[in-house]
Amino acid sequence: MAHAKEVATLNRVLWACALILAVSSCSISNNAYSPAVTSSASRSAPSAHFESEHRWGNGSDNRWEPVVAADPSSPWIYQMTTGQRPDYLLFRASNDRGATWSPARHICRRGTRVPFQYDPQIAVANDGTIDAVCLNGFLPGVAIAQSHDHGRSWTRSVRLDGSLRYSDKPTLVLAAGGRDIYVAFNSYNALYVAASHDGGSTWQRPVKATRDRRWYYSYSGAAARDGSVWFAVDGESGRDETGNGRVALVTSSDGGATWTTLAFAKSHEGATCRAPRCYPDFYTAQDAIAVDPTGVHLFVFAQNKVKHGPNALYASRSSDGIHWSAPSPVNEQGNSTSPALATGPGSGDFRLVWQDDRNGPNAWNTWYARSRDGGATWSKPQRLSDRSAGAAYKHAGGYDFPFGDYLGLAVDSRGGNYVIWGEGAAIYRPGGTWWTRDVL
């Protein structure tokens, strides 16, 4: 999203003067799932046994904003990342839970004159179909392709944003085992969602899901067992999207025909980003949503309490998607960004990864924590970026800067964790994609 946001900044400035900012509220109740909130790490789950981090590529590769997916019924694991200059997506597959990998290949491109590819998303249906969504320039925009043979071949990608002249930052959610597919994306001052209810054979026209004319970006999505669909969003405001942010969930219970926005918190203008070529809203209030197999909802979001203050991570829980617990802190060390959330096989089992600079402004790290009680308590944060060498931007305390706006987390059917992220020295180059796994 970083490159796309930078390119779009001039266009958005022209629109900003016309934005009408309106904030609604939702009911957040303490009478929700789980017991009273306690200290965020008061109960420690057993530490995961992650391998030392690996690099995808070599020292000359600049790859960022990666994602990962696990097949729900087999040992297959899939990764995607984004190359820079030329800007294209790479895909690779593993049939042994990440022990070995196929050669990387290009996928998803639609047309021959697409200027760049960014913002990959990947998910696997119950029958093994891989759905891959990406941004193919601003025109044709958001597109999806599928593979039925573990990524060896792909369908021609289908454009999802209709006649819109600009779209950015897609988020992919599968429901009903993959028969229902939802893709949310930003288009100027609204969030839109495109849906398919036949496994991607046909698509409905994108629906405008928000109405208050903020710059909504979705960072995560989930489907619940009752058929409801959820996207975790931040609604940015201000001339250059540096005003207060609206931390919210956007949800539908009628197959994506209509959408409701549940506002949780207000964030303030983020800390000044001092990395070379950094855009002003880098430290926006990113968030994540997940729903476990028994219907427990968990919402994790970044928020600062004062202008230019650091982001802390908070969690809110619900057993029905209607009544939510008061937000409780998960991490208050350093400035947090890029939370990703996934569920394990059991009830209340949630895995969380994020990046923060608790070790210093040029000593960022990627962290992991687990909750076994629906997000009421969390294990002690576990550092995943454990190599102090291997690139000029890596040091004993961490790495210089997050490489990209988000990272990836997947959990397989046995409960194993797969995490992938970007480390670098600046917003654009140099940097690389790094990953690790805990296969149990």
Residues 275-289: tens digit of each pLDDT: 989 999 999 999 999
Q: Which letter does DSSP use for residue 178 in this model?
A: G
Average pLDDT over every residue of 395-410: 97
Average pLDDT over every residue of 346-350: 96
Average pLDDT over every residue of 342-363: 97
The pLDDT of residue 50: 98
Structure tokens at 340: 């990703």
The pLDDT of residue 140: 83
- Rg over alpha carbons for the chain, rounded to the nearest Å, is 20
What is the Cα–Cα distance from 231 to 208, expressed in whole angstroms? 13
Residues 418-430: tens digit of each pLDDT: 999 999 999 998 9
Which position has the higher pLDDT, 209 or 113?
Answer: 209
Q: Within 13 Å, how many C-alpha atoms sit on residue 98's CB side?
A: 27
Is the four-CA dihedral 9, 10, 14, 17 of positive or negative sign?
A: positive
pLDDT of 20 over the 70 cut: no
Phi, psi of 292 (to 5 degrees): -85, 175
Average pLDDT over every residue of 196-220: 97
The pLDDT of residue 35: 31
Name residue, tokens 């960072």.
Answer: 219
The pLDDT of residue 93: 98
Average pLDDT over every residue of 240-267: 94
Q: How confident is the model at residue 439 (pLDDT cuts 50, 70, 90)?
A: confident
* CATH class for the domain made up of 2-438: mainly beta
Angle at 182 between CA 177 and CA 188, to 5 degrees: 165
pLDDT of 39 over the 70 cut: no
The pLDDT of residue 7: 45
Q: How confident is the model at residue 89 (pLDDT cuts 50, 70, 90)?
A: very high
Name the residue type at position 149: D
- Specify the pTM: 0.91
What is the Cα–Cα distance from 312 to 331, expressed in whole angstroms? 6
Residues 123-179: tens digit of each pLDDT: 999 999 999 999 998 888 999 999 999 999 999 999 999 999 999 999 999 999 999
Query: Across all residues in the chain, what is the average pLDDT?
Result: 89
pLDDT of 31 over the 60 cut: no
Structure tokens at 10: 């001039």
Residues 369-391: tens digit of each pLDDT: 999 999 999 999 999 999 999 99
Q: How confident is the model at residue 113 (pLDDT cuts 50, 70, 90)?
A: low
Q: Which letter does DSSP use for residue 177 in this model?
A: G
- CA nearest neighbour of 343 among 183, 230, 201: 230
The pLDDT of residue 110: 56
